């Protein structure tokens, strides 16, 4: 008889706040959350105070443990089996090994200050080699150029880094250092794969993810300052007893999107999840070998367990739930975000209106930072309800673009599992199923990121030598998430195809507006439209369109 798993404490370190959650079995029984300051010292710059993040995280953990202690069961720190950490990825922190004090503000994943450096490297022809080694694009989104910027702009830092006096890492490494009192400087393979300093797949040897001397030299980041790369599940250290009242093993670490993929139990090739938050992040499991990323997408480490890495293909949409915030705060069409559902549902369709919510440029598969949003197809009969519905459709179209790109890369996606705040919208999820042409499965547990990290920690303390995260004999994790509702595609194939072609024309229009005189925007959109048409043949999941 399988015993009930002991509680797990998860640190969920987001971009604007941190949370600590105590999971007892599959239930979140205690939650604490604190926001931290966002700093914008120059246009396109975004910084965090890493010390503030750690202080907020520790305070949340103490609050959550105290709340768990007041439950009828009375969960204490000593009852907690393990700590898990999941985090905003790519944010770069550099600190003094002797004092544990950051030498500069953390540079956040959203920061664009190193765009010129990335452009130089692209122009010098380094893009294909970097993509082959890392599965990533040369873009300031990733950590490598951020680390280099801190070293170059902080007096004496580069020399100190070369002498091993400085430590660097993403937020997970910073958390691990503080939790262990500076005894452990490590990052897991999923986070390491997002730095653009780690080679993956065959380029990394048996580990599937390893620091590359070639990449460190290219970006000017001394290898001596980087953390050890460890498995995503497995005990890597213990928390200092004075922090929480007990020494607790730290056994699960993963970047937020990879943690959500694990939380949704997408552990076989083709299984995919999409997190609907401020933006939308779609990851599809790609197997135990690093595949060449489909055009416009990225290849990343999903997790590494028992020394074996598994991989995912990823695409990011910059504007998801924030499009609804625009309807509320910018256009003032609604007073509260949930009102968008009733307003959009008050009309049967968008009346020909198309909203391209490229407020921060277009993400994957377009990667057009200069594109801007647009509302197209307006007539005298257009109403705010049509604009609201078209905005939700715009979010769903962007995710459908990612599904199409993944399919075009040879990975079949037969179902999309969803999480995040905007996934609570029934209308958006139905639109998503119709426009992507695949069923959308919404679990009861929408906290997939924190939950996925907790499951990794549970594997880490229960079966640290597990060769596969998906081992059906592993009693530490459920084989499938509990599904609250499943949304089947109901739109007619012809209607779906027409909607997708109209969307591609709208994308071409906004890209042409951003790049006057260039043919690339129109050509790229035409290619994408052709791809969409091909991926909607009966050889794919749209066979379901004709089922009763």
pLDDT digits (tens, 9 = 90+) for 207-249: 999 999 999 999 999 999 999 999 999 999 999 999 999 999 9
Residues in contact with 424: Cβ distance below 8 Å, sequence separation at least 6, in sequence order: 446
CB 172 within 8 A of CB 232: no
C-alpha pair distances (Å), 385 with each of 276, 334, 342, 345, 357: 22, 10, 9, 8, 16
Radius of gyration of the chain (CA): 23
- Give the pLDDT confidence of 273-298 residue by residue, as tens digits: 999 987 899 999 999 988 888 888 99
| Percentage of residues in the chain having pLDDT higher than 90 | 66
* Per-residue DSSP letter, 5: P
Q: Can you tell me the distance from the alpha carbon of 440 to that of 426, in angstroms, rounded to the nearest whole number?
A: 11
Q: Residue 469 and residue 475: Cα distance in Å, rounded?
A: 11
**pLDDT tens, residue by residue, 384-435:** 999 999 999 999 999 999 999 998 888 888 899 998 888 989 999 999 999 9
CA distances from 280 to 163, 394, 397 (A): 41, 12, 11
Let me know how long the chain is: 548
CA distance 337 to 323: 10
Q: Are 234 and 305 in contact (CB under 8 A)?
A: yes
**533: pLDDT strictly greater than 50:** no
Environment class of 376 (CB within 10 Å of its CB; exposed 0-12, middle 13-18, buried 19+): middle
Residue 140, pLDDT score? 87
DSSP state of 6: P
pLDDT at 144 over 60: yes
Over residues 128-156, the mean pLDDT reads 94
Domains in the chain and their CATH numbers? 316-444+485-542 (3.30.420.40)
pLDDT score of 524: 53
Query: Does residue 545 have a pLDDT over 60?
Result: no
The pLDDT of residue 520 is above 80: no
Asked whether residue 3 carries a pLDDT value surpassing 70, the answer given is no
Residue with tokens 């197209």: 376
Whether the bond into 146 is cis, omega within 30 of 0: no
Separation CA 16–CA 12 (nearest Å): 11
Q: What's the confidence (pLDDT) of residue 337? A: 85
pLDDT of the residue at 480:
72
pLDDT score for 265? 92
What pLDDT, on the 0 to 100 scale, is given for residue 528? Answer: 52
Q: Is residue 478 scored above 70 in pLDDT?
A: no
> What does the buried/exposed string (b/e) look like for 333-360 if buried means 16 or more CB atoms within 10 Å of the residue's CB?
bbeebeebbebbbebeebbebbbbbbeb
How does the average pLDDT of the chain come out, rounded? 88
Q: How confident is the model at residue 16 (pLDDT cuts 50, 70, 90)?
A: confident
DSSP 279: S
Band of the pLDDT at 474, cuts 50, 70, 90?
A: low
Q: pLDDT class for 361, splitting at 50, 70, 90?
A: confident
- Decide if pLDDT at 153 tops 70: yes
Res. 530: pLDDT tops 90: no
- Does residue 517 register a pLDDT over 90? no
Lowest mean pLDDT among 16-25, 171-180, 212-221: 16-25
Contact (CB, 8 A) for 233 and 457: yes
> How distant is the alpha carbon of residue 171 from its chain centre?
14
Q: pLDDT band for position 543 (50/70/90)? A: very low
The yes-or-no verdict on residue 65 having pLDDT over 70 is yes
Tokens 């070639």 appear where? Answer: 214
Percent of the chain at pLDDT > 70 equals 91
Give residue 109's pLDDT band: very low, low, confident or very high (50, 70, 90). Answer: confident
Query: Which pLDDT does position 548 carry in this prediction?
Result: 22
Neighbours of 42 (CB within 10 A): 10
- The answer to whether residues 242 and 74 touch, using CB atoms and an 8 Å cutoff, is no
Q: Cβ-count burial of 464 within 10 angstroms (0-12 exposed, 13-18 middle, 19+ buried)?
A: middle
By three-state DSSP, how is residue 94 classified? strand
As beta bridge partners, residue 23 has 8, 28
Quote the pLDDT of residue 514. Answer: 84
Q: Please state the separation of Cα 211 from the chain's center in Å.
A: 21
> pTM for this structure?
0.85
- The 10s digit of each residue's pLDDT in 123-137 is 999 999 999 999 999
pLDDT digit string, tens, across residues 305-326: 999 999 999 998 888 888 888 8
How far is the C-alpha of 27 from the C-alpha of 197, rounded, in Å?
Answer: 37
Alpha-helical (H) ranges within 193-240 are 213-219
Between residues 514 and 503, the one the model is more confident about: 503
Lowest mean pLDDT among 131-140, 251-260, 269-278, 520-529: 520-529
Other C-beta atoms closer than 10 Å to the C-beta of 184 total 18
pLDDT (average), residues 38-55: 91
Helix axes 171-179, 50-69, angle to 10 degrees: 60
User: What distance in Å separates the CA atoms of residue 134 and residue 240, rounded to the nearest whole number?
Assistant: 35
CA atoms within 13 Å, Cβ hemisphere of 63: 15
Alpha-helix residue ranges (DSSP H) falling in 312-424? 321-325, 339-345, 384-408
**How many other C-beta atoms lie within 10 A of the C-beta of residue 523?**
12
At 463, is the pLDDT very low, low, confident or very high (cuts 50, 70, 90)?
low
Confirm if 432 and 392 have CB atoms less than 8 A apart: no
Phi, psi of 354 (to 5 degrees): -125, 125
Q: What is the DSSP string of 288-326?
A: SS-PPPPTT-EEEEEEEETTEEEEEEEEEES-SHHHHHI
Residue range 6-20: average pLDDT? 92
Tokens of 265: 């139990």
């Amino acid at each position: 008889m399988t015993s009930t798993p002991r509680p797990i404490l998860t640190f969920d370190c987001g971009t604007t706040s941190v949370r600590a959650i105590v999971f007892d079995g599959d239930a979140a029984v205690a939650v604490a959350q604190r926001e931290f300051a966002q700093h914008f010292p120059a246009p396109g710059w975004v910084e965090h105070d890493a010390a503030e993040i750690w202080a907020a995280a520790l305070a949340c953990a103490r609050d959550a443990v105290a709340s768990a202690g007041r439950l009828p069961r009375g969960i204490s720190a000593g009852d907690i089996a393990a700590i898990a950490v999941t985090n905003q990825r790519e944010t770069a922190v550099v600190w003094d090994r002797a004092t544990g004090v950051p030498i500069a503000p953390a540079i956040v994943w959203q920061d664009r200050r190193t765009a010129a450096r990335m452009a130089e490297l692209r122009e010098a022809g380094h893009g294909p080699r970097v993509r082959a080694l890392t599965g990533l694009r040369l873009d300031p989104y990733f950590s490598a150029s951020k680390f280099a910027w801190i070293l170059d702009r902080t007096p004496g830092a580069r020399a100190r880094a070369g002498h091993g006096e400085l430590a660097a890492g993403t937020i997970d490494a910073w958390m691990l250092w503080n939790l262990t009192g500076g005894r452990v400087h490590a990052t897991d393979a999923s986070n390491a794969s997002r730095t653009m300093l780690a080679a993956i797949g065959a380029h990394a040897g048996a580990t599937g993810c390893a620091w590359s001397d070639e990449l460190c030299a290219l970006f000017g980041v001394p290898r001596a300052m980087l953390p050890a790369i460890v498995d995503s599940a497995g005990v890597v250290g213990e928390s200092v007893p004075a922090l929480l009242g007990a020494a607790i093993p730290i056994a699960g670490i993963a970047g937020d999107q990879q943690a959500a993929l694990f939380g949704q139990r997408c552990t076989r090739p083709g299984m995919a999840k999409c997190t609907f938050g401020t933006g939308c992040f779609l990851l599809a499991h790609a197997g135990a070998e690093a595949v060449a990323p489909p055009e416009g997408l990225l290849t990343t480490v999903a997790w590494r367990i028992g020394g074996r890495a598994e991989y995912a293909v990823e695409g990011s949409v910059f504007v998801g739930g924030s499009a609804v915030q625009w309807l509320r705060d910018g256009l003032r069409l609604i007073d509260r975000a949930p009102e968008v559902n009733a307003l959009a549902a008050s009309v049967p369709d968008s009346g020909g209106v198309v909203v391209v919510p490229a407020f921060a440029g277009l993400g994957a598969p377009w990667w057009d930072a200069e594109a801007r949003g647009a509302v197209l197809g307006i007539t005298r009969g257009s109403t705010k309800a049509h604009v609201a519905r078209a905005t939700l459709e715009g979010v769903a179209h962007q995710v459908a673009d990612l599904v199409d790109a993944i399919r075009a890369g040879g990975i079949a996606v037969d179902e999309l599992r969803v999480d995040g705040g905007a996934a609570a919208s029934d209308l958006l999820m139905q639109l998503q199923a119709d426009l992507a042409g695949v069923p959308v499965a919404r679990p009861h547990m929408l906290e997939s990121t924190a939950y996925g990290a907790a499951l990794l920690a549970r594997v880490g303390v229960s079966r640290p030598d597990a060769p596969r995260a998906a081992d059906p004999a592993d009693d530490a994790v459920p084989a499938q998430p509990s599904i609250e509702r499943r949304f089947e595609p109901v739109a007619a194939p012809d209607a779906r195809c027409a909607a997708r072609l109209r969307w591609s024309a709208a994308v071409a229009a906004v890209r042409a507006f951003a790049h006057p005189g260039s043919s690339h925007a129109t050509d790229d959109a035409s290619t994408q439209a052709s791809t969409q048409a091909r991926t909607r043949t009966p050889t794919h999941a749209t066979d379901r369109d004709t089922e009763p």
